Structure 1
Amino acid sequence: MSVLEHQYREAVAGITSPGSLDEKILQYARQFKPARSDNLWLSKAASSGAAVAIVVLLIHPAQYLGALTPSLHPADASRQRPLTNWQQEPTHPAPAVDPWFHLRSQVEAGSYVELCHVWRRQQRGSVSEKLPRDLESKARKHCRLLP
């Protein structure tokens, strides 16, 4: 707990209300009564109608038809589980091998010698594959300093 939280809790603990004020508030709260409803019969009719609707939904035999249907045709697997394969599994692309992984790992380690050799060969036109954009920008930045 921080110092500010501790100071706050001490300050709050010191605040108390007088007992006479608490009694006045309690007496004032006891004077409140719920408002009488003029539509008492309408309220009872609505609640009983909702209760009847719930009972009808729970007892109605239509909800049990789906539970009993698969037992009628046990040999047919498609009827027992109609939604087993409703969604195709997502296909994940196969991870491609990075041809520049070795060179990137050396650059991340802080060694720019091989990167500079490849970059110079590319500048001369003797390399068929061009460096990726990130390696090329690092080569421009660091290879001017190295021989």
Structure 2
Amino acid sequence: MINDTFENLEYASLLSTFKELLKENKLKFTKQREVILKTLYEQNEHFTPEDLYIYLKTKYPELNIGIATVYRTLNLLEESLMVTSISFGVAGKKFELANKPHHDHMICKSCGLIIEFQNDKIEQLQLDIAKAHNFHITSHLMQLRGLCEKCAKEKH
């Protein structure tokens, strides 16, 4: 019950920030835009705009949601730092909500699987290296690319 209350307050705060962002950009708050944000909040996944569009069309068939709305909303959320993205080059980007605690990613070059991880030793090492170079880190993004266990087995 306490966790549900926290999640409701967290989402309410996120939604309020989103509404302000839309107002600042002279955009209307619509059900379509809300379900994009809500889906990113509720699903612990990394979505391409196309994957998100298909998911929304399936889950909310009554909504008239277009792929352009998904793209524009994700871009607006990314510009405002409410979502982050991982670039897959010509294959595009995958997006996730930025309200998660800091984490890094391992990305399979074959199937696109994304594994999130957090390691205190790596974080401290980065701070130590920055300090040794009199450098102040304001943010960082670590992406390790390779093959997941399944794809590595298939290659051999």
- What TM-score, normalized to structure 1? 0.19
Larger radius of gyration: 1
Larger helix share, 1 or 2:
1
Larger strand share, 1 or 2:
2
- Relative CO higher for 1 or 2, CA cutoff 8 Å, sep ≥ 6? 2
